[in-house]
Chain A
């Protein structure tokens, strides 16, 4: 979003304010171009009359609606309810924001098509993320790799369940061919089977890491526009990915990457082995990846599309509430019923665990505690397993 803001200010004569929806938030000043854009808190922003206010994350929709503006819009970068597991309350809250009568800009076709299927009266605008072509500056032809180990880059937060980082590393460990595995994670923690663990990178450093890789391995379960393999493409790397949402925008199996099945560690490791052993195939898909990268638009182009999209939102009439209200109530009802099911299952589980909890309490008493020390150890291990 910051890059869009930068483009709108620098090239299209827009006046853009970034507003922190939570007063305690601090902007990431390391982000390119952020220093050129005013950043306000909510109080300051309430005093400004905007033409368009755009929410950029489900938690910012409420604050965005508090700000006075001729039009309110929602930049949906993923269906954010999917970031949460079914039992998490935020899942419903995030989904409800999609049912508000707001003009929507999305960054992937699958999001636009899904939202239009859910709420037919709304035509979503589409503005894909561009690529900083000066930073992710492609090599002319991808260099042919010799007989070196396959260089694999795994990017993502290993603690976020839908990024699939542990699964990706498991697949690399199951490979038979020699490989060199690099991870790029928020904390740079060295994980099992990793040769090089990189922490947070600037965009240029990330580009250098991609340039050093043959393959970007991403086994995500949820993605919006799915940027990392595309950035890898620009630097001459191919990808091995799951058929996650967003991949269909640019990944073509056998043309510029390999698409593997869900939960298929063995199949993924065999795909990586294939690329490690068949240098001609590796070169072919890397060549295709670079060609795909050439066809992807720059941030400058996408800034133009964003300017046109915001202009269109300013011109289009406000959306009629009624169809959205009906959809929102249906979503709410579905969510409440889903949570009732979760609560009932939890109650049932608690009832089934009651005898075990009684044993647990008894073993905590001092005499029993001393006598049952070996048994408690085994019990603790079993309980941890149940909790997992």
Chain B
């Protein structure tokens, strides 16, 4: 599951574009800010792609993992980069972020796909509200719509859906903008020798289900506008990954069967020995399903 939670260069395009779009939405705000705070920056892949080499004067990048943090600090474009390794579920972690920010004002804070990973999001939400209300930061955050995700993520400490997002929304300052990130599907016919066409516009249906909920608040929150992005599917990469998964599955199923056979034979031998010694077999031979 790691590939789904950490955005790397190997992440499938459909997931990368989802992350890049969120950063692209915030990019105009970030570029114009003196200080940009990115909570849960990961390896900075999506932010780097969205900013396209044009970053803010100062970036404060925060993540719980030192490894990815160093990658982000290397790649994210900014005049000055401050990397903070911090557990945002703890007061100490949030205090480290406050210390790194210093007296910064009029900045931008992004917090994408972080809150659901925290056992307690009280401190981080308090920090974001404080930044918006007292230090004129514009904040953009997102949470996933777990309720529509068929697989329960082992990495999510809390479960998010429309109801949970509504609870979060009511904790935010009264002036805020809400956006729903809607997944798209598509296809393109490309005659040989011609470039692909831009995808046509579309109207979001009323019953559209969001994959992610986004909230923006702070002085420039109204600048968050509708935005879509399309990426070419990497069928070759997907096929490679699926074949790897199938091969791994088949391999480990074979190993499990082998181990079960070995264990059964060993158990039979032990029971035979016990019978030879006139003892009752301690356990019946295991019957694996």
Chain A binder among B120-128, B178-186, B216-224, B237-245: B120-128
Q: Which residue of A lies closest to B147 (CB)?
A: A295
B169 CB → nearest A CB, Å: 8
Q: Which residue of A lies closest to B125 (CB)?
A: A308
Residues of B within 8 A of A127 (CB): 167
Check A126 against B158 for contact (C-beta < 8 Å): no
Give the complex CA separation of A109 and B165 in angstroms: 11
Check B158 against A311 for contact (C-beta < 8 Å): no
| A308 with B121, Cβ < 8 A, contacts A123-B170, A125-B171, A126-B167 known | yes
Q: Which residue of B lies closest to A303 (CB)?
A: B120
A229 CB → nearest B CB, Å: 15
Check A295 against B159 for contact (C-beta < 8 Å): yes
Partner of B174, one of A123, A126, A301: A123
| A308 with B163, Cβ < 8 A, contacts A125-B170, A295-B147, A301-B158 known | no
Check A126 against B170 for contact (C-beta < 8 Å): yes
B120 CB → nearest A CB, Å: 5
Check A295 against B161 for contact (C-beta < 8 Å): yes
Check B120 against A304 for contact (C-beta < 8 Å): yes
Interface residue A294 (Cβ < 8 Å from any Cβ of B): yes
Residues of B within 8 A of A304 (CB): 119-122, 158
| A112 with B170, Cβ < 8 A, contacts A294-B152, A295-B159, A298-B159 known | yes
Interface residue A202 (Cβ < 8 Å from any Cβ of B): no
Check B159 against A301 for contact (C-beta < 8 Å): yes
Residues of B within 8 A of A249 (CB): 163
Count: A-B pairs, CB below 8 Å: 58
Give the complex CA separation of A123 and B175 in angstroms: 12
Check A11 against B170 for contact (C-beta < 8 Å): no
Interface residue B87 (Cβ < 8 Å from any Cβ of A): no
Within 8 A of A (CB), among B43-92: none
| A128 with B167, Cβ < 8 A, contacts A296-B159, A297-B159 known | yes
A314 CB → nearest B CB, Å: 11
Best-surrounded residue of B119, B163, B170, B174 (most CB of chain A within 10 A): B170
**A119-131 Cβ-contact flags toward B at 8 Å (1 or 0):** 0000111111000
Mostly, the B contact residues are helix
Partner of A12, one of B120, B126, B161, B167: B120
Interface residue A307 (Cβ < 8 Å from any Cβ of B): yes
Interface residue B166 (Cβ < 8 Å from any Cβ of A): yes
Residues of A within 8 A of B260 (CB): none
Q: Which residue of A lies closest to B159 (CB)?
A: A297
| A295 with B158, Cβ < 8 A, contacts A304-B120, A308-B121 known | no
Give the complex CA separation of A301 and B122 in angstroms: 11
Interface residue A309 (Cβ < 8 Å from any Cβ of B): yes
Q: Which residue of B lies closest to A307 (CB)?
A: B122
Interface residue A135 (Cβ < 8 Å from any Cβ of B): no
B173 CB → nearest A CB, Å: 10
Check B166 against A109 for contact (C-beta < 8 Å): yes
Give the complex CA separation of A105 and B71 in angstroms: 43
Interface residue A18 (Cβ < 8 Å from any Cβ of B): no
Mostly, the A contact residues are helix
Interface residue B228 (Cβ < 8 Å from any Cβ of A): no
Q: How many residues of A contact B (CB 8 A)?
A: 27
Check B166 against A126 for contact (C-beta < 8 Å): yes
Check B122 against A124 for contact (C-beta < 8 Å): no
Residues of A within 8 A of B167 (CB): 125-128, 305
A305 CB → nearest B CB, Å: 5
Interface residue A312 (Cβ < 8 Å from any Cβ of B): yes
Within 8 A of B (CB), among A269-312: 292, 294-298, 300-301, 304-305, 307-309, 311-312
| A109 with B125, Cβ < 8 A, contacts A125-B171, A309-B171 known | no
Interface residue B146 (Cβ < 8 Å from any Cβ of A): yes
Check A297 against B171 for contact (C-beta < 8 Å): no
Residues of B within 8 A of A298 (CB): 159
Interface residue B4 (Cβ < 8 Å from any Cβ of A): no
Residues of B within 8 A of A126 (CB): 166-167, 170
Residues of A within 8 A of B280 (CB): none
A292 CB → nearest B CB, Å: 8
Interface residue B164 (Cβ < 8 Å from any Cβ of A): yes
Residues of A within 8 A of B161 (CB): 295
Give the complex CA separation of A142 and B278 in angstroms: 46
Check A124 against B170 for contact (C-beta < 8 Å): yes
Give the complex CA separation of A11 and B121 in angstroms: 12
**A1-43 Cβ-contact flags toward B at 8 Å (1 or 0):** 0000000000110000000000000000000000000000000
Within 8 A of A (CB), among B114-159: 119-122, 125-126, 129, 146-148, 152, 158-159
**A293-335 Cβ-contact flags toward B at 8 Å (1 or 0):** 0111110110011011101100000000000000000000000
Give the complex CA separation of A307 and B171 in angstroms: 11
**B103-120 Cβ-contact flags toward A at 8 Å (1 or 0):** 000000000000000011
Check B163 against A109 for contact (C-beta < 8 Å): yes
Give the complex CA separation of A249 and B168 in angstroms: 16
Closest 8 CB pairs of A and B: A295-B147, A301-B158, A126-B167, A308-B122, A307-B122, A304-B120, A126-B170, A305-B167
A-B contact sample (6 more), CB < 8 A, given A12-B120, A124-B170: A11-B120, A109-B166, A128-B163, A294-B152, A297-B159, A304-B121
B residues sitting closer than 8 Å to A (CB atoms) are 119-122, 125-126, 129, 146-148, 152, 158-159, 161, 163-164, 166-168, 170-171, 174
8 A-B residue pairs with Cβ-Cβ distance under 8 Å, sorted by A, are: A112-B170, A124-B170, A125-B171, A126-B166, A304-B120, A308-B125, A308-B126, A312-B171
A residues sitting closer than 8 Å to B (CB atoms) are 11-12, 109, 112, 123-128, 249-250, 292, 294-298, 300-301, 304-305, 307-309, 311-312
